[in-house]
Amino acid sequence: MTTRLMTLTILSLFLASGGCSIAQVQHEESTPRFGSSVKMAVQDQTLNPLPAGTEPVRGMDGKYTQAVVEKYQSGPKPETKSTNTSVADIIIGGK
């Protein structure tokens, strides 16, 4: 009698665990595949090749380019530090 009960218990556990494997959820990636942003950009440009805005492109004139080159060649300017720094200025982020 106990072997029969033990066999039925083991058999029911086996069948129950086998039923759990049937209800598996199919896994799909939550992030787009690598390189998909480039493919999407190419598709968008193929569908609509016109530029997004009507403003002229900045940086195509000689004056602007010359100013950028001069600023680049002069390098960064050193910041002047104030000598009258108080704790309130440091906390508030003033001066």
Please state the pTM of the whole predicted model. Answer: 0.26
Q: What is the pLDDT of residue 73?
A: 92
C-alpha 14: how far from its chain's center?
45
Residue pair 95/82 in contact by the 8 Å Cβ criterion: yes
Q: What is the pLDDT of residue 59?
A: 65
Domain range list for the chain: 1-92
Please determine, for residue 78, whether its predicted confidence score (pLDDT) is greater than 70: yes
Q: What is the pLDDT of residue 49?
A: 74
Q: What is the pLDDT of residue 74?
A: 92
* CA 74/CA 72 separation, integer angstroms: 6
Q: Which long-range contacts (CB under 8 A, 24 or more apart) does 6-9 make?
A: none
Which residue in this structure is represented by tokens 């069948």?
15
Q: What number is the average pLDDT over the span 6-10?
A: 85
The secondary structure of residue 26, as a DSSP letter, is P
